[in-house]
Amino acid sequence: MMHFINQLKNQLMDFFQSKKTLMKYLKKINFYFKKFQTIVNFLISFISLLFTYIVGIGITSLVAKIVGKKFLGKKATDSQWVAVDYSDKFNQKMS
């Protein structure tokens, strides 16, 4: 087995003439594999997030519209300020 590996190594070295040319080709291959990895990573992320959005938000929204459920409560008002009269609470504690 070791003889076969050495023979293959020698044939590759003869083909590439030197380690520098071999490294040059391996760096090119590595560069293109990284580009391929980036593209595949983008596609898988995009597809999985799209599926999650459609299933998680899309179906929930569709069911909520059919049922008539509103998750946020009131429509937008001029202000979210709630006036609280603390004078009664303060007077009760003091007496």
Average pLDDT over residues 40-65: 93
Nearest to 22 by CA among 30, 55, 69, 92: 30
Domain count along the chain = 1
Residue 53's pLDDT is: 93
> What torsion, rounded to 10 degrees, do the Cα atoms 15, 21, 23, 24 define?
-120
pLDDT-based confidence at 67, cuts 50/70/90?
very high
Question: Who's near 19: CB < 8 A, 6+ residues apart?
Answer: 13
Distance (Å, rounded) from C-alpha 35 to C-alpha 40? 9
Tell me which of 49-53, 61-65, 83-87 is least confident: 83-87
Residue 74's pLDDT is: 67
Give the HSE-up count for residue 7: Cα atoms under 13 Å, Cβ half-sphere. 4
Kindly report the pTM of this predicted structure.
0.47
**What confidence tens digit (pLDDT) does each residue in 52-62 have?**
999 999 898 89
pLDDT-based confidence at 48, cuts 50/70/90?
very high
Domain holding 77, by residue range, is 2-94
